[in-house]
Chain A
Amino acid sequence: MTLVYYAIQQTVNALSIGSLYALMAVGLAMVFSILRLINFAHGDLMMVAAYLAAFALFANLPLGLAVVLIIIGTVIVGLLMERIAYRPIRGAPDVATLLTSLAVGQILQNGMLLTTRFLGQPIQIAFPTPDVLNGVVAFGSITVPRLNVVSLVIGLIALVSLSFFVTRTVPGLSMRAAAEDLTAAQLMGININRVIALAFAIGSGLAAIAGLLFAVQAGQINPYMGFTPVLKAFIAAVIGGFGSIAGAVVGGFVLGALEVILTALPGIGDILPPGMVSPSTQALLQQWLPSSLTGYRDAFVFAALILMLLFRPNGILGQPNREEMR
């Protein structure tokens, strides 16, 4: 029983983390597919959203209103970022645009640092979790943190509506056309600036949702919180085949599962109920998967990224040809 319970709990855990990564990765992939820009500042949009959420909740705004304001605020920041920094360098070499996004990230981080100081807040603030997201949900005898269920549900709703938007609406179609071939799309009379702005707006909106959920999960926020998630989202996007929206979603869930497995496996020898496996197997597990390995999870995840880039740069769904040397 314990093991089944544990497995179900971990599955829900994996799905909820996966949906967060998927939300982030989709924004990265959309922008990348059109502009070939790896937008590292995407993680900082998430951070901005988390702070907006904290300020809104400190001000005791009702949750619904707060969420709307957070999304609008983050979208505005995302659009400004595109207009001020990325539009002028469109067409520059890959590395130049990548470095620009790093600089944009620095500006957002330190801008937030200045803002918090100006508002008299410490650098690290405890996130005021709304009551709706506290507590647990019980399915029969199995209890799951409510936050995980909410993350999963919200993530799925957002992703499903995104897929509807991309496949069934005219702006969605023009976005896919731009991703296919920017110049050709332009020749067909598509307003490229509008499409790119739209991609940034949608990405920022999704990042805002992810930021809010991530902040609740972490319990505290700081101006640098976006860095690791954006790298993870990048990994998710690479796993799924970079630039593909569906791939980014798949990659997000795969990464979520991978992380949960890597967190759960070390020390598994200690939690197995007696009699599950033979004592010798248990001893072997304890020896080869000691709980001290847990800390190395991110190292394994990034090693997986490097292997993916080398051997399947087009993702698990794509063709297995290598990234050619250019």
Chain B
Amino acid sequence: MSTLDDRPANPAIGEVRPNKRGGVAALIQSPVAIRLGALLILAIGLSLLHLSGRVFWQGLVINLGIFMILVLSLNLASGFTGVFSLGHIGFMALGAYGSAILTLPLAKKADYLPNLPAWLASIHFDFYLGPFPLGFLLATLLAAGLVAGVALLVGLVLMRLSGHFVAVATLGFLVIVRVILFNADNFTRGSRTFSNVTPYTGLWWVWFWAILTLYVVWRLKYSAYGRAMLAQREDALAAQAVGLAIMPPRLLAFVVSAFFTAVAGSLYAHFITSFSPTVFYFDLTFRVITMLIVGGLGSVSGSVLGTVVIIALAEALRRLEDVTLLYGMSQITLAVIFIVIILFRPNGLLGRREIVLARLFRKGGEPSP
């Protein structure tokens, strides 16, 4: 279980390690300074990557950020509350399609989605504020807000279930979303590829949202709401006995998590720029769950770690696949790793522990503040 000194530390966990502990030690040991420092280092890293122009690495880091949002929000919904959702990719799909329809430039819209209802056909979010694509931000927020509304409705129904029944019911939700996306031709072009999406998503967008998600999830975990989530996960009866309602924390986790999942969907849509409903289905669900399980259900830094490990591993395996032509090998390896983790480290790499950045800076044996 988490203890009191697992307080919010820094987003960029594990990315920064001190190489010098000189006279400035006292200064850099204050948590705020450490957090700002880590953000600064992340910003410098992203700037360097941005300037380097290495498209492949930029793509990889963008992907990393998007998956980090997905895993963190799934952790919020499933790891914190113990109500396992297999349907989150459905929210991602809704976010992706929703924002992509909104940002489609007006001229293209008439041509590309001719059967949109008039009100939707006439609004467009392709405007800029100076060089800043304000429309993209608004479209993402609007789509994610709508998805959060959907999640509220779905959650009111599904959060009553528990154990594996909720997993299967949410999987049912995923199938329903897929069926709707395939059949609502007027909005989604059905099974045809939805392309022509403006490629707004860049390093900065993704990492802005990733850090925001990390911050919100972390703060939530250590808020009264978060503790209520953990309490009803550990023992619903005991939680009720001390006066905690079960539904509100579950719903809150589900809705907030759906919001960020939809944001990830919007970012993804404006990153790959063309997609079809098949993208948002079981493979992606399984990939995200693998990252979550590897990192540890309920551990925020575990989610970050799991995402980094699996993204790196998947990329390495993909390259190996290209060389050996054994396509499918990487999925098998990931699934085997998944089973091995469940067998031997059922709580994931970190369990429910957290890596607290401030501790990494402390000398061994030094008492905790």
With A99-B293, A296-B180 as contacts: A110 and B165 at CB distance below 8 Å: no
Name 30 A/B residue pairs within 8 A (Cβ), A-sorted: A38-B167, A89-B342, A92-B346, A98-B164, A99-B84, A99-B289, A100-B342, A103-B335, A103-B336, A103-B342, A104-B335, A107-B332, A109-B328, A110-B329, A110-B335, A113-B328, A114-B326, A228-B175, A231-B171, A295-B182, A299-B176, A299-B179, A303-B176, A306-B169, A309-B169, A310-B160, A313-B165, A323-B160, A323-B162, A325-B160
With A100-B339, A107-B332 as contacts: A302 and B236 at CB distance below 8 Å: no
Is the Cβ of A106 less than 8 Å from the Cβ of B286? yes
A residues with a Cβ closer than 8 A to B are: 38, 85, 88-89, 92, 94-100, 102-104, 106-107, 109-111, 113-114, 117, 227-228, 231, 234, 238, 292, 295-299, 302-303, 305-306, 309-310, 313, 322-326
Query: Which of A88, A111, A324 is close to B328, meaning CB atoms less than 8 Å apart?
Result: A111
Closest Cβ neighbor of A32 among chain B residues:
B164
Interface 0/1 of B294-336, CB less than 8 Å to A = 0000000000000000000000000000000111110110111
Query: Does B163 have its Cβ within 8 Å of any Cβ on chain A?
Result: yes
Query: Which of A102, A110, A313 is close to B289, meaning CB atoms less than 8 Å apart?
Result: A102
Is the Cβ of B236 less than 8 Å from the Cβ of A310? no
Chain B count of residues within 8 A CB distance of the other chain: 42
Contacts of A298 in B (CB 8 A): 175-176, 179
Assembled-state Cα–Cα distance A85/B339 (Å): 8
Least distance between A303 CB and chain B CB atoms (Å): 6
Contacts of B325 in A (CB 8 A): 117
Least distance between B341 CB and chain A CB atoms (Å): 10
With A110-B332, A114-B329, A306-B169 as contacts: A95 and B175 at CB distance below 8 Å: no
With A100-B339, A326-B162 as contacts: A309 and B328 at CB distance below 8 Å: no
Query: Does B125 have its Cβ within 8 Å of any Cβ on chain A?
Result: no
Is the Cβ of B165 less than 8 Å from the Cβ of A96? no
Is the Cβ of B293 less than 8 Å from the Cβ of A295? no
Contacts of A38 in B (CB 8 A): 164, 167-168
Secondary structure of the B contact surface, majority rule: helix
With A117-B327, A306-B157 as contacts: A106 and B335 at CB distance below 8 Å: yes
Closest Cβ neighbor of A85 among chain B residues:
B339
Query: Does B161 have its Cβ within 8 Å of any Cβ on chain A?
Result: yes
Is the Cβ of A302 less than 8 Å from the Cβ of B175? yes
Contacts of A95 in B (CB 8 A): 84, 163-164, 167
Contacts of A305 in B (CB 8 A): 168-169, 172
Is the Cβ of B160 less than 8 Å from the Cβ of A107? no
Contacts of A92 in B (CB 8 A): 342, 346
Contacts of B229 in A (CB 8 A): none
Assembled-state Cα–Cα distance A272/B236 (Å): 54
Assembled-state Cα–Cα distance A262/B343 (Å): 42
Query: Does B158 have its Cβ within 8 Å of any Cβ on chain A?
Result: yes
Assembled-state Cα–Cα distance A191/B272 (Å): 54
20 additional contacts (CB under 8 A) given A95-B164, A306-B158, A306-B173: A96-B346, A97-B164, A98-B164, A106-B331, A107-B336, A110-B328, A110-B331, A111-B332, A113-B327, A113-B328, A114-B327, A231-B175, A303-B176, A309-B169, A313-B165, A323-B161, A324-B162, A325-B160, A325-B246, A326-B236
Query: Does B122 have its Cβ within 8 Å of any Cβ on chain A?
Result: no
Assembled-state Cα–Cα distance A106/B281 (Å): 13
Assembled-state Cα–Cα distance A309/B159 (Å): 12
Contacts of B163 in A (CB 8 A): 94-95, 326
Closest Cβ neighbor of A242 among chain B residues:
B165
Contacts of B169 in A (CB 8 A): 305-306, 309
Contacts of B165 in A (CB 8 A): 309, 313, 323
Interface 0/1 of B203-245, CB less than 8 Å to A = 0000000000000000000000000000000001000000000
Contacts of A94 in B (CB 8 A): 163-164
Contacts of B157 in A (CB 8 A): 306, 310
